[in-house]
């Protein structure tokens, strides 16, 4: 009985026990607890009644008040229903119980509420640290956004989740599940990622602005190279395939071009809010990046026919060296093919198909 008493004292010392037996529980927790809280509160009267009955039996034995067959009388005192139920147990006072029945009521009351108390404590131990960490993180993120002069909806959402979870842990803890803590962690992580992105954007604004003139110069060079490659291909190659039309220079330096838009952005200076400048700059960089990729593709396409001609010239030079190396420099059939190929490759406009066929014929004759 001493061990049972100690276990009950330990249970009742738990804040979770006080919350579960204090009333005003949320619907989920109230449904799981049911009458267990009321029965748990009647544990002590039953335990005290059982302890008093046991003490009475001990006194009878110690004082020699037993009749003949005392062992049987002691057994009857321990097993028969002779103990009056305490009125605080909410039962008719005329009802009687045995010591064993009283102790069974105590154990059932303890065993019924004990697991629920443990479940609540486990939830608090698992979730409260996450709430505390979330609130600390969100407070810092909020301060950083205040410094930038921006609201951040993800912070507000995560704070609402933390507040709701903290409230349910107190009012309806058994309604909380592991996924609630995971959801809070994910919301805080999303807010932190967004704030980090904004801080990076703010910190890199000046550096990104400083690189715009360099990028504009790179675009001018790319455009001119692509246009020049197209002009050379049309002049040097007969019916070149795959050439790309290059945008007009006005896309860079004409009205509303990238140059003029950059001038407007730089002129705004510190008079505009940083996030507005950031937004304008990001749009400018996006357009510039798209144009750069377009011009790189145009340069590759317009340079391809010229590169094809240069590749054929390289093959011709290699075959000429091979002809000399194998001692066939006097082979008129070979030298005639070399002359035909050289004439085609070094006289504009070059017909790449004819030049390639001639060099393939030369290679075949060399192999034979």
**Nearest-5° angle of CA 272, CA 274, CA 275?**
110
**pLDDT, position 356:** 95
**pLDDT, position 145:** 84
Does residue 226 surpass a pLDDT of 90? yes
**pLDDT, position 319:** 92
More confident call, 203 vs 216: 216
Taking residues 267-289, report their average pLDDT. Answer: 83
Taking residues 154-160, report their average pLDDT. Answer: 91
**pLDDT, position 235:** 94
* C-alpha–C-alpha distance, residues 78 and 123, integer Å: 41
Does residue 56 surpass a pLDDT of 90? no
Q: How confident is the model at residue 81 (pLDDT cuts 50, 70, 90)?
A: low
Does residue 365 surpass a pLDDT of 60? yes
The model's pLDDT over 230-251, given as tens digits with 9 standing for 90+, comes to: 999 999 999 999 999 999 999 9
**pLDDT, position 184:** 92
**pLDDT, position 49:** 59
Q: 239: which residues sit within 8 A by CB, 6+ positions away?
A: 351
Does residue 297 surpass a pLDDT of 80? yes
Taking residues 79-108, report their average pLDDT. Answer: 58
* C-alpha–C-alpha distance, residues 276 and 269, integer Å: 11
Q: How confident is the model at residue 259 (pLDDT cuts 50, 70, 90)?
A: very high
Does residue 64 surpass a pLDDT of 90? no
Residues found in the chain? 368
Does residue 52 surpass a pLDDT of 70? no
Does residue 47 surpass a pLDDT of 60? no
**pLDDT, position 69:** 44
The model's pLDDT over 176-194, given as tens digits with 9 standing for 90+, comes to: 887 888 899 999 999 998 8
Cis before 47 (ω within 30): no
**pLDDT, position 104:** 62
**pLDDT, position 95:** 66
Looking only at Cα atoms, what is the longest distance across the chain?
A: 146
**pLDDT, position 350:** 94
With contact defined as beta carbons under 8 Å apart, do 105 and 129 qualify? no
More confident call, 356 vs 11: 356
**pLDDT, position 343:** 94
**pLDDT, position 304:** 96
Kindly state the tokens that stand for 335. 């030298």
The model's pLDDT over 104-146, given as tens digits with 9 standing for 90+, comes to: 666 665 556 667 767 777 777 888 889 999 999 999 888 888 8
More confident call, 143 vs 80: 143
Does residue 208 surpass a pLDDT of 70? yes
Q: Among the listed ranges 113-117, 143-147, 162-166, 219-223, which one has the minimum average pLDDT value? A: 113-117
With contact defined as beta carbons under 8 Å apart, do 90 and 42 qualify? yes
Of all residues in the chain, the percent with pLDDT exceeding 90 is 39
* C-alpha–C-alpha distance, residues 195 and 266, integer Å: 25
**pLDDT, position 176:** 83
Kindly state the tokens that stand for 131. 């709430």
Secondary structure letter of residue 245 according to DSSP: P
């Amino acid at each position: 009985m001493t061990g049972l008493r100690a276990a009950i004292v330990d249970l009742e010392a738990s804040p979770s026990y006080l919350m579960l037996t204090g009333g005003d529980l949320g619907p989920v927790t109230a449904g799981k607890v049911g009458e267990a809280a009321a029965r748990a509160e009647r544990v002590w009267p039953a335990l005290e009644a059982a302890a008093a009955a046991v003490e009475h039996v001990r006194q009878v034995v110690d004082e020699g008040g037993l009749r003949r067959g005392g062992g049987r009388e002691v057994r009857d005192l321990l097993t028969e229903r002779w103990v009056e139920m305490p009125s605080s147990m909410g039962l008719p006072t005329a009802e009687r119980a045995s010591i064993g029945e009283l102790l069974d009521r105590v154990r059932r009351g303890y065993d019924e509420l004990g697991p629920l108390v443990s479940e609540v404590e486990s939830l608090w131990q698992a979730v409260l640290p996450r709430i505390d960490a979330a609130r600390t993180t969100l407070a810092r993120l909020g301060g950083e956004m205040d410094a930038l002069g921006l609201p951040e909806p993800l912070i507000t959402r995560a704070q609402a989740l933390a507040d709701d979870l903290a409230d349910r842990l107190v009012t309806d803890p058994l309604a909380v599940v592991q996924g609630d803590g995971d959801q809070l962690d994910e919301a805080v992580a999303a807010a932190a990622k967004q704030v980090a992105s904004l801080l990076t954007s703010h910190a890199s604004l000046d550096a990104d602005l400083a690189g715009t003139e360099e990028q504009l110069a790179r675009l001018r060079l790319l455009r001119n190279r692509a246009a020049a490659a197209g002009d050379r291909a049309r002049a040097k190659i007969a019916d070149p395939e795959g050439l790309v039309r290059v945008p007009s220079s006005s896309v860079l330096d004409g009205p509303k071009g990238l140059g003029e838009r950059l001038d407007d952005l730089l002129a705004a200076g510190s008079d505009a809010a940083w996030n507005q400048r950031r937004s304008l700059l990001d749009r400018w960089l996006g357009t510039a990046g798209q144009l750069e990729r377009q011009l790189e593709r145009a340069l590759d396409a317009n340079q391809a026919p010229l590169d094809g001609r240069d590749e054929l010239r390289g093959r011709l030079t290699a075959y000429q060296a091979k002809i000399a190396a194998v001692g066939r420099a006097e082979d008129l059939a070979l030298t005639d093919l070399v002359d035909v190929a050289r004439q085609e490759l070094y006289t504009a406009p070059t017909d790449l198909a004819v030049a390639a066929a001639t060099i393939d014929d030369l290679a075949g004759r060399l192999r034979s």
